[in-house]
Structure 1
Amino acid sequence: MMEMSISTPRSEGTTFAIYLPSVGEKSIAQSTYKETMVTGKQKNGYILVMDDEAFIRDLSIEMLGFLGYRVKTCIDGKEAVDLYKAAKVEGNPFSSVIMDLTIPGGMGGKEAAQLILAFDPAARLIVSSGYSADPAMDDYESHGFCAAVVKPYKVEELAKVL
C-alpha cells in the first residue's frame, strides 16, 4: 500500500489519505537489478530500437540501459536500415534490432527486416508489437526475425529474449 497526503500550505482545510493497492508484481529494481548484481549477468552489446512511439523508445532506453546494453533508437524502418548499415560499416554493429511491426506513414518492421537481412543475413532481428494477434508475432521466424516481444515491454522478457 502507498499513502499520499494532500493538505493546504497553511495546514488548514482537509487532509486526504489515498491508499493504492499493490498489483502484486515485483518492481524492476526488485526483480532484475537484484538478479543482475547477484549473478553478474550484466550484458554488453549495442541494441537498436525502432518504434514510432516516443514513450516506447524512452522506456527501451531505460530498460535496456538498466540491463547493461548501449541503446540507439529510431522512428521508422528507413532510419533503422540506414543506422544498421552505418554501424556495421563503421565496425560498431548492433547486437540486435528490436523492430515495431507497424509504423503509420512509414516503413514498418517486416519491410525493414528484409532490407537489413539482404545487407546482413546474420542480423539478429526481434519483432515487436502491441498487437499479439498479428501473424508475424506468432510466426516471426518466417519473416526473418529470431524472436518476438510484446509491448509494453517487461524487463524480464527483454532480458530473456536478448
Structure 2
Amino acid sequence: MIIETEELKIIPLNSKQLLSYTEGNQLEKELRIHEKDRFMSETVKMKILSKILKNINEDEENFYFYTFWIIILKKENEIAGEFCFKGKPKNGRVEIGYATFPKFHNRGIMSKSIEKIIEWVFINTEITNIIAETDSQNLSSIQVLKKNKFKLFQSQANNFIWMRTK
C-alpha cells in the first residue's frame, strides 16, 4: 500500500524494508531513490531491531501500526521525513509520531502527509481519535497539528497532547 499525492509518496515499510532502513542508505538503494546522509540514533535502531520488527512479524496484517512510514518527495526522489503509529489502536484511539528531515523543513511536507494519512485512517480503519504529543516549544509541529484540525487535549509540564476526532 502506498499513499500518493502529486508531490508525495507515503510508504509503510514492511519488515524487510524496515531492516534495510536501519542499515545506512540500503533502503534508498533498494528503492532507487536519492541517497542522503540520514542519521538514525542507536536508541531508535535498537528499538526497531528488538521490538518493532518483532511486532510486525507477530501481527503482519496490522504491520502499518508498528512500522515506520517514509515520506518521499517525488520531485527530489528523496526521503523527506518519517511517520509512525505508536502501536495498534486501543478503544478507537491511536497515537502518531512524525519528523521532517532538516533539509525539508518549512515546506508543508509534513502537514500534507499527515492530512493524507488521517484521511486514510478514517476511511480504512475503525479509529475515531488520533493523538499526537509535542514539546510545548516545538512550534513547527504544533502548526502541523493545527493545520490538520487537532485540538489541544492535555498539557503536562513542557508537553502538549493533541487530539483529532473523526
TM-score (norm 1): 0.30
Structure ID, larger Rg:
1
